[in-house]
Structures are given as C-alpha cells and as structure tokens.
Amino acid sequence: MDASQAFAYQQNKGTLVPGQSISVNKYTVQVERYLSQGGFAHVYLVRTATPVYNTTHHVLKRIAVANEAMLTDVKKEVDIMRLLKGHPNIVHLIDAAWHRMSNGLYEVFILMEFCPGGGIIDMMNRRLRERLTESEILQIFVDVCEGVAYMHNSRPPLLHRDLKVENILQASPTSFKLCDFGSATTVATRPPANMQEVRALEEDLNRHTTLQYRAPEMIDAHLRRPIDEKSDVWALGVLLYKLCYYTTPFEEHGPLAILNVQYRIPPYPVYSSQMNALIASMLREHVQHTSTSTSCSSDSATTKITLS
C-alpha cells in the first residue's frame, strides 16, 4: 500500500492500516482489517503471532480521547470490563493501554476477544424476510440476561445502561455476548436532590443512554426516581420487543409513550402469548419498594433477574 492509498484508507476506514503492528502492553498485534466505528472509536480485526486464549484473532478498539475527563471515562470502562472478565456472556477483555500523543490527545487501545458471528443487528438484517424464530430469540435473550444478571449481582451492583441489539455479539452459533461497557456505572446511592443534580443527571443520560431504550425515570429526571437495576430490565424489555418485531415499542410516539407505557404488539410476526407477556412484565413502571422478578427460559436454560 503506497502513501496515497494509506491516506485514503485512513480517511475512510480509521487511522490504522492493514499490516500495521500495535503494542498493547505485553501483546503485539497486527491489523488485518477495519471492522466498524462509533463515536471516537474505531474497531479492527487483529492477529497475534501466537494464540491468546486459544485463538490468534482478536478485536482492537482504538479511541482518540480529547482530555483527562474523557480518559477517566475510558479507564472506568476498562476497569468494569476487568471486573466482569471471565463470564461466558460478556465480551472478554484481554488488555488495555493508553498514551499521550504529540498533539495533546490521548490514544487508547482496548484489546478484546473476537466474536466471529458479528453483531445481532447484522443477523437481523440478513433475516428481514424470514424473521427470527421464538426459540432463536429466547436463546439470544437468555444469554443477554445471564450477562446482565452477573452485572447486577456484582458488589457493588453494576448497571449497563445501554442495552440494545447493537451491543450483542454472536460468539458461536449458540452463544451470545454483551459488549460496550462505556455507559456502565454503579447504582446511585440516591435520586437527585436539587435542580443542579437533575441537570447533571440529564446530561449524563443524554451522553450514555439511547433514547428508545430509556425507562420512564430516565426520560424525565425531574421525577427524581431511582435509576437502578429496574432501568436495565426495562431496556431488556425493549430489546426483546426489537428482536421480535424489528422496531422498538415506542418508536412511533416517542418519550410521552414511554412515560405512559403505551405500546402495541404488531400483528406480524406472530409469537406466543407467553413471549408478549414476558415483554409486558418488563415494560411497566416499577414502583419503588415492590419486589418482582423477570424470568425467561430457552430449552435447558433459565435466567432470573430479581428486582427489589
């Protein structure tokens, strides 16, 4: 690849080029190809000379970070991935490194496992005519619930806060993993107590959550309701609805419909009444101090997320 080709590649496909070697602490990886981008991050398929965790193929996420505050956020993401490392339904962190560049920006590299099946959103796009079956949907959803339950049962409990189909990867034909922990955080000790705290919460939610997946307490921070594990469970309900119907339940009418919990079940595709009841059990306002549980089963697997 000559200089002009490399420049064109960088303009369209990120900052790293195929064949380039990158060091992430003790690991040296070679870039194979660009995969995707989001925000300030570019994602690449890379290879190690010798197997790491039984494979030579991995994913390298390269993030350009403008300042110390943003670097703190990225370090928090890495720390959370380290805490969650080892769970079979959470993308595995291998290592991470960062340094300050000559232009004053920080360059961060996060080395992770490669999920060869790609994103669930890609699977859905391939199945526009022949939609996912109920058993396929439950297989995906059970694995996601396992990952979320592991986060919620951590000490202290962790919220993902950005559960959506774009953040689920297929590791194998029968295994699915949760990814992207840039929005994850611990549960706040209390709701906002004044307008300054309400505005700070609104700004945080706008930066770290996706509108269509937000629970009512996230839509209107002025309600001053707790944002906790129940907020993730609401997002799971939206995610399950999207796996079934390829749209989100509040797409048409937006925030007001979320606040009023107003949605309908489309006539097609047809799923069981139990599936729609499972969606409904998550898409409801969770009154404080009540105890409920959400459970789903797929053949041999059962997952329960308990709300208290």
Q: What is the DSSP letter of 131?
A: P
Range of the domain at 43: 8-113
> 113, 135, 163 — which closes off a domain?
113
Residues 203 and 241 in one domain: yes
Residues 171 and 277 in one domain: yes
- 172 pLDDT above the threshold of 70: yes
Across the range 139-164, mean pLDDT stands at 97
- Give domain status of residue 182, yes or no: yes
- Give domain status of residue 87, yes or no: yes
Q: Which residues are designated catalytic?
A: 162
- Give domain status of residue 2, yes or no: no
Across the range 155-180, mean pLDDT stands at 96
- Give domain status of residue 144, yes or no: yes
Residues 280 and 203 in one domain: yes
Residues 300 and 161 in one domain: yes
Residues 109 and 144 in one domain: no
Residues 17 and 133 in one domain: no
| C-alpha angle 21-69-197 in degrees, rounded to nearest 5 | 145
> 66, 83, 113 — which closes off a domain?
113
- 38 pLDDT above the threshold of 90: no
- Give domain status of residue 79, yes or no: yes
Across the range 29-56, mean pLDDT stands at 93
Cα gap 240→145, rounded to integer Å: 11
> 113, 142, 175 — which closes off a domain?
113
- 299 pLDDT above the threshold of 90: no
Residues 291 and 268 in one domain: yes
Cα gap 154→231, rounded to integer Å: 16
Residues with Cβ within 8 Å of residue 277, at least 6 apart in sequence: none
**pLDDT digits over 118-136, tens only?**
999 999 999 999 999 999 9
Residues 197 and 264 in one domain: yes
Percent pLDDT > 90 in the chain is 82
Half-sphere exposure of 67 (CA within 13 A, CB side): 1
- Give domain status of residue 133, yes or no: yes
Residues 166 and 96 in one domain: no
The whole-number pLDDT of residue 40 equals 82
**62 DSSP β-pair partners:** 42, 109
Cα gap 89→96, rounded to integer Å: 20
CATH number at 90 reads: 3.30.200.20
**pLDDT digits over 210-228, tens only?**
999 999 999 999 989 999 9
- Give domain status of residue 3, yes or no: no
- Give domain status of residue 1, yes or no: no
Q: Identify each DSSP E strand in 66-157 by its residue range.
A: 93-100, 106-113
CATH number at 299 reads: 1.10.510.10
Q: How many distinct structural domains can be found in the chain? A: 2
Place of tokens 């694995």: 143
Cα gap 223→154, rounded to integer Å: 27
Cα gap 234→214, rounded to integer Å: 8
Residues 214 and 231 in one domain: yes
Residues 95 and 141 in one domain: no
- 14 pLDDT above the threshold of 70: no
Residues 201 and 281 in one domain: yes
Across the range 238-244, mean pLDDT stands at 98
